[in-house]
Amino acid sequence: MDAGQMRSLARSARDGRSEDTIAEYDRIAERLDGRHWRDYAEECQASKGYGYLLKAAWRYQQAGHLLEALRRSDRARKAGDKAGAGDWRKRAEALAGVLESKEAPWKGVPGTKKGKTSKRASLSRLPEDWRERLIKALKPDDVLPAVVLSLTGCRPCEYKKGITLERDGDDLKVTIQGGKQSELTKGGQKVRVLTFDGSDALAKALVNLADKTEGEAVVQGDLGAWRKRFTRAAAKLGFKGVSPYSLRHQFSGDQKQRGWNDDRLSQALGHASARMKQHYGHANQGKRRGGGLKSVAATQPVRNQPGPLPGTEPETGPSLG
């Protein structure tokens, strides 16, 4: 398959989608977090209709990766980097093969209801201290990822990349490498830095960890198996519909409760579009009054911000770049 055929294949999976459909695909990409759509469908026991939607969103994402690989291959070739061009071409061919492959249709799980469980909606049924109780119920080796995700609202895939923890005076500075940053769509924040009040219980635990490594520590790991243990621990406590992504929704609800429903929250969540934060947590679901978050800085400003009311301007964090 030549480059032109691969571009046509990718565009057939991406063109003609409405803004609402693309926004839904973006939300699903957050839930998939790098996983194959079928693995996620099995995990959440998706209905037939939702499984179809998961597959379409996954293909849309893979097609975007294919177009980006072709673009990078062209750039490397023009720059005289034959090895780089070849590597990106192989990546493109692999992605094209994935898009061309025929998969058995998802038939749904017998007895499941249509639709999907909303992690955001499930927060309203949880007690005020649900995170603390869940962290306490985890095995010792599983506690650190839960503390980091609870405090920062980061994605599990960002934990895999590595989260940097630093003491900043009495405070905690956390640097997160974006997990959903795309040169193709200009989406996501490449890097964001969150500063937390060091007296907050969760922040204090991470400050202590940084202190053990001369003021700075990097925590990371693949959370694939951890996810299941986390979800099982939540179920044993009677917390229905809870997964690691519930921590991200709760983080957003906490910030909205304290009035940070502006560009600072978008940047803290790793978004470059103001529209995305509306899908994460409600202000009335906040439980920790922001968890001690003091400031946010990110690599790019937030776009798609609705026009401010006369005499007002939305607040945003400083830029890192």
Question: Per-residue pLDDT averaged across 108-127, rounded?
Answer: 65
- Phi/psi zone of residue 172: left (φ > 0), alpha (ψ -120 to 50 degrees), beta? beta
Domains of the chain: 3-100 (no CATH), 119-298 (1.10.443)
CA separation, residue 187 to residues 165, 180, 190 (Å) = 25, 7, 9
| Chain mean position to CA 251 | 12
Per-residue tokens: 63: 């097609």
- The share of the chain scoring above pLDDT 70, in percent, equals 88
Question: Per-residue pLDDT averaged across 272-284, rounded?
Answer: 87
Q: Is the pLDDT of residue 311 over 50?
A: no
Strands in 216-219's sheet, in edge-to-edge order, are 216-219, 163-168, 171-177, 191-196, 293-298
Greater confidence (277 vs 118) lies with: 277
- Rounded Cα gap, residues 281 and 250, in angstroms: 6
Question: Which residues, listed in sequence order, are joined to residue 319 by a DSSP beta bridge?
Answer: 298
- Average pLDDT along the chain: 86
Residue whose C-alpha is closest to residue 266's, from 257, 249, 282, 278: 278
- The pLDDT tens digits of the residues spanning 155-172 come to 998 999 999 999 999 999
CA separation, residue 135 to residues 96, 140, 233, 259, 282 (Å) = 42, 9, 9, 27, 22
Non-local CB neighbours of 100 within 8 Å, separated by 6+ positions: 9
Q: Is the pLDDT of residue 312 over 50?
A: no
How high is the pLDDT of residue 183?
A: 62
- The pLDDT tens digits of the residues spanning 57-105 come to 999 999 999 999 999 999 999 999 999 999 999 999 999 998 888 888 8
Q: Is the pTM of this model over 0.75?
A: no
- The pLDDT tens digits of the residues spanning 216-248 come to 999 999 998 999 999 999 999 999 889 998 999
**Alpha helix stretches (DSSP H) within the chain:** 3-14, 19-32, 37-43, 48-78, 82-100, 119-122, 130-137, 140-152, 156-161, 201-211, 224-236, 244-257, 263-269
Asked if residues 146 and 134 have their Cβ atoms less than 8 Å apart, the reply is yes
- The share of the chain scoring above pLDDT 90, in percent, equals 54
Radius of gyration for the alpha carbons in the chain, expressed in angstroms and rounded: 21
How high is the pLDDT of residue 308?
A: 44
Per-residue tokens: 300: 């790019």
Residue whose C-alpha is closest to residue 218's, from 171, 187, 263, 174: 174
